[in-house]
């Protein structure tokens, strides 16, 4: 998973649902198609919801890594 | 046969902060998931959308509100605004609720309410959608 170069990291740690998802969406809007974006979230619900949203709207879910007290979710803007 | 949810109509009537917060969460998340959302704000809920109220007034009404405020959850006004910005959230303010308070649309938060529209219009617009009440 980490062979991909992350073009942007969104640090949403400390934010509660649906904050992290909204921050990801806001950031994705300004990135070009093909961008690999990493979002950091300390909110477990959001960490589960973000891949769901990615699947629903048609972007690419790369993977999730659990770190110390937060999750790193990597996605790719597909369109 | 399952029907994919494409539209939700939400009647928000409670002045309980928890419910208003939940309505904001449903609206914003549904909007970014491609679900059209129509929110009808009526009864005591209109008070939560008055322009310039304090955080004490915004977070009032629910036993869970205190902890939500402490944890700094996203403000519900921001959630509704994000729903409008990122997706298809439309908001109607109930004319009856405004009238009993002596308010107009100008007393409510800016750039949030699409129109002041009554029950008839709302029910026409909500036709065919899932209806929720908070």
Q: What is the CATH number of the domain that holds B118?
A: 3.40.1260.10
* pLDDT, position B2: 47
Reduced to 3 states (helix: H, G, I; strand: E, B; else coil), residue B115 is strand
pLDDT for position B36: 94
What lies within 8 Å, CB to CB, of A16 at 6+ separation is: A43, A46, B71, B72, B73, B74
pLDDT for residue B3: 57
Contact A12, A23 (CB under 8 A): yes
Question: Domains of chain A: which residue ranges?
Answer: 8-76
Q: Which among A19, A49, A57 has CB closest to B74?
A: A19
Please list every residue in chain B whose beta carbon sits closer than 8 Å to the beta carbon of residue A16.
71-74
- Of residues B24, B25, B31, the one with CA closest to residue B8: B31
- In a domain? residue B131: no
What distance, in Å, lies between the first and last C-alpha atoms of chain A? 20
Q: Is A61 helix (H, G, I), strand (E, B) or coil?
A: strand
Determine, for residues A16 and B82 on separate chains, whether the beta-carbon distance falls below 8 Å.
Answer: no
Tell me which residue range forms the domain holding B81: 8-126
Q: CB under 8 Å to A37, separation ≥6 — which residues? A: A6, A7, A8, A9, A10, A24, A27, A28, A31, A74, A75, A76, A77
The tens place of each residue's pLDDT in chain A, 79 residues long, gives: 556 799 999 999 999 999 999 999 999 999 999 999 999 999 999 999 999 999 999 999 999 999 999 999 999 999 9
Asked if B32 and A53 come within 8 Å (Cβ–Cβ), the reply is yes
Number of domains in chain B: 1
- The pTM of this model reads 0.90
**ipTM value > 0.85:** no
Show which of residues 47-86 on chain B sit within 8 Å of chain A, judged by CB atoms. Answer: 71-74, 79, 82, 86
Tens of pLDDT, residue by residue over B53-107, are 999 999 999 899 999 999 999 999 999 999 999 878 999 999 999 999 999 999 9
Q: Is residue B3 part of a domain?
A: no
- Would residue B133 count as lying in a domain? no
Candidates B22, B31, B73, partner chain A, best to mutate (most A CBs within 10 A)? B73
Q: How far apart are CA A51 and CA A71, in angstroms?
A: 12
Given CB atoms, is A33 within the 8 Å cutoff of chain B? no
Q: Does A51 touch chain B (CB under 8 A)?
A: no
Are B25 and A56 in contact (CB < 8 Å)? no
**Distance, CA of B16 to CA of B62 (rounded, Å):** 5
Nearest to A57 among B34, B74, B79 (CB): B34
Active site residue A17: yes
A8-76: CATH superfamily: TusA-like domain (3.30.110.40)
Task: Tell me the DSSP string of B6-23.
Answer: -EEEEEE----HHHHHHH
Percent of chain B with pLDDT over 70: 97
Tell me, yes or no, whether B100 lies in a domain: yes
């Amino acid at each position: 998973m980490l062979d991909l170069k992350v073009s942007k990291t969104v640090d949403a740690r400390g934010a509660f649902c649906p904050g992290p998802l909204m921050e990801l969406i806001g950031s994705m809007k300004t990135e070009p198609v093909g961008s690999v974006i990493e979002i950091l979230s300390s909110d477990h619900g959001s960490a589960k919801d973000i891949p769901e949203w990615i699947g629903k709207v048609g972007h690419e879910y790369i993977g999730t890594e659990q770190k110390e007290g937060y999750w790193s979710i990597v996605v790719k803007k597909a369109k | 046969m399952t029907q994919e949810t494409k539209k939700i109509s939400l009647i928000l009537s409670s002045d309980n902060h928890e419910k208003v917060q939940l309505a904001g969460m449903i609206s914003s998340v549904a909007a970014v998931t491609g679900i059209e959302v129509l929110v009808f704000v009526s009864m005591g809920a209109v008070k939560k959308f008055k322009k310039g109220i304090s955080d004490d007034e915004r977070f009032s009404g629910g036993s869970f509100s205190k902890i939500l405020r402490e944890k700094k959850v996203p403000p519900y006004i921001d959630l509704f605004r994000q729903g409008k910005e990122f997706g298809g959230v439309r908001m109607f303010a109930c004319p009856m609720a405004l009238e009993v308070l002596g308010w107009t649309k100008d007393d409510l938060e800016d750039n949030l309410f699409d129109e002041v529209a009554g029950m008839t219009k709302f029910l026409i617009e909500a036709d065919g959608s899932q209806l929720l009440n908070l």
